[in-house]
Amino acid sequence: MWEEAIKVVDDAVEALRRLPLIVHLDGAKSIAILGDVHGYDEVVDRFEQLVDEFSIDKAVMLGDYVDRGPNSSQTIVKVLSLASSEPNRFVPLRGDHEDPRMNEGYGFYEEVLYMQATDLFSHVVEAYQHLPVAAVGLGAFLVHGGVPCADCARPDVPISLSNVELQYSGVKGTRRYLELADDVLFQMLWNDPNGDAEYFEPNPRGPGIYYYGRLAWSSFLRENGLDLIIRGHEVVDGAFAIRHDGRPVGTLKCNEWRSRREVSGGVITVFSSRYHGGRAGALIVDSDGLILKCL
């Protein structure tokens, strides 16, 4: 029953093996970004249409494809199908819900048990091990959670992405990566921005998870020659932006263009699921500005 879906997942695993831990979107003139989907497969369909409609060079999906929503199996298969059929265009990143332990508590595993799709689940878990943790393009850092602390005892020392690649690239594709046993990679999926904080503060999500403040993300961007963070992980109404100084730009409106200067040095959260009852958003970014498209 699930043979065709398993074949799609296995083909995607082969394509994902070839991607580095941090994908560099060199040469891209436009990037479309999809936030958390959480089991709403029609959002993935609409995102694919958007990418084609606007002739987008690169399309990055920020993770959390499964759990909470009604169709996790269909959603993850569609995401992985895009990764295998157009590997030079669609880049799926890993979120905190691309983790079998999370799936056992938030719905995906219960869904596959009900649908008698445990074979599919085991192949999807293998795909989790090969999803990149982040992407960089058009001066933006694209990640599910955000900025980790290189040394939490010295929060003013920013982490270098080149050092992350050097230290952790060999971890991708291993059990260690699946289990997020390395603090830096774990925080990249789990940390949240807080414009009222300066560097890093404890986060109620749990041990080892932090809020990163305005000085933390500003020094991270300078260290890595970037000017914007685009991430998912939090429920917002489509997209919510914070300025470089921690002050909110606020919720972005559908089809409203914003200049890069307005958001430079800041953080934008994108959310693309429907389970919260709000808008599902996707960002289109180029060198001049960005626009929120409501899916």
The structure tokens 């399309």 sit at 59
- Spatial distance between the Cα atoms of 129 and 144, rounded to a whole number of angstroms: 15
State residue 151's pLDDT score. Answer: 85
* 1 within 8 A of 116, measured Cβ to Cβ: yes
State the CATH architecture for 3-13+29-294.
4-Layer Sandwich (3.60)
Span 96-107, pLDDT tens digits = 999 999 999 999
Report the largest interatomic distance among the alpha carbons of the chain, rounded to a whole angstrom. 53
- Average pLDDT for 220-244: 98
Asked if residue 53 has pLDDT above 80, the reply is: yes
Span 191-202, pLDDT tens digits = 999 999 999 999
Which tokens hold the place of 274?
Answer: 């429907």
Question: For residues 152 and 68, which has the higher predicted lDDT (pLDDT)?
Answer: 68
State residue 1's pLDDT score. Answer: 65
Q: CA angle at residue 190 from 140 to 234, to 5 degrees?
A: 75
- Average pLDDT for 25-43: 97
Asked if residue 57 has pLDDT above 70, the reply is: yes
Asked if residue 152 has pLDDT above 90, the reply is: no
Average pLDDT, the chain: 97
Which tokens hold the place of 121?
Answer: 């689940």
Q: Where on the phi/psi map is residue 287: left (φ > 0), alpha (ψ -120 to 50), or beta? A: alpha
pTM for this model (two decimals): 0.98
Which tokens hold the place of 46?
Answer: 């609409």
How large a percentage of the chain has pLDDT more than 90? Answer: 96
